[in-house]
């Protein structure tokens, strides 16, 4: 019985060593996916209007007057200002550089036409302080589909390299896929493609 157990242990060890010493080739496969927008957040600055007169500045319009004018002009465009939320946080963090009374409001929307109307509305005392674009997240099915394409690319690359060494590619022995569902748009939106890479190890025969 002891001899049988010893024999099995030796066979297992030899098998494990053979697997560890197996020749492999590891390559990075890649593909690309188009980044799609999901929503837009527009931060609007409303500021009192001051003009220089004599030795100092004189208020021409208070921030409340600027706000009321902005609300009316938005209404003319079919946009209800009640959908906006005040950004107290942004008011606090930007207050150190402000010499005028300023209020910040933001709107999150998925409607591109609304975004265009807001950014093209030019009024005294108002400006666009920031615009954020949130990209659509990939589904599990989309992630799997992209991984498959990247793995096919990896296999083609591995086969080309193996051919140069007079070898052939065997089974897949390892996959590393660190991609997530998150997508990111470029700062200026000129490039809508995002790389999707997978590291694949193949047996080298």
Whole-number average pLDDT of the chain: 87
- pTM, to two decimals: 0.72
Q: What are 162-196's pLDDT values in tens digits?
A: 999 999 999 999 999 999 999 887 656 677 888 99
Q: Could you state, in order of their start, the residue ranges of all structural domains in the chain?
A: 22-36+137-204, 38-135
Residue 19 has pLDDT above 60, yes or no: no
Q: Domain 22-36+137-204 - what CATH class?
A: alpha beta
* Per-residue model confidence (pLDDT) at position 64: 95
- For residue 95, the 8-state DSSP code is G
Specify whether the backbone of 98 is left (phi greater than 0), alpha (psi in -120 to 50) or beta: beta
pLDDT tens profile 125-149? 999 999 999 999 999 999 999 999 9
């Amino acid at each position: 019985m002891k001899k049988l157990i010893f024999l099995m242990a030796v066979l297992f060890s030899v098998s494990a060593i053979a697997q560890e010493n197996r020749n492999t080739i590891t390559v990075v496969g890649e593909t690309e996916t188009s980044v799609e927008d999901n929503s837009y957040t527009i931060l609007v600055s409303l500021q009192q209007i001051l003009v220089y007169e004599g030795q100092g500045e004189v208020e021409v319009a208070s921030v409340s007057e600027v706000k009321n004018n902005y609300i009316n002009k938005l209404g003319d465009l079919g946009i209800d200002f009640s959908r906006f939320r005040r950004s107290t946080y942004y008011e606090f963090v930007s207050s150190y550089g402000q010499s005028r009374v300023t209020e910040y409001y933001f709107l999150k929307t998925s409607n591109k036409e609304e975004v265009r109307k807001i950014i093209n509305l030019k009024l005294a005392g108002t400006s666009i302080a920031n615009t954020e674009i949130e990209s659509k997240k990939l589904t599990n099915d989309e992630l799997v589909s992209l991984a498959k394409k990247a793995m096919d690319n990896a296999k083609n690359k591995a086969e080309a390299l193996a051919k140069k060494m007079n070898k052939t590619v065997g089974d897949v022995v390892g996959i590393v896929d660190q991609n997530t569902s998150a997508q990111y748009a470029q700062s200026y939106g000129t490039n809508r493609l995002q790389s999707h890479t997978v590291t694949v190890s193949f047996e080298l025969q």
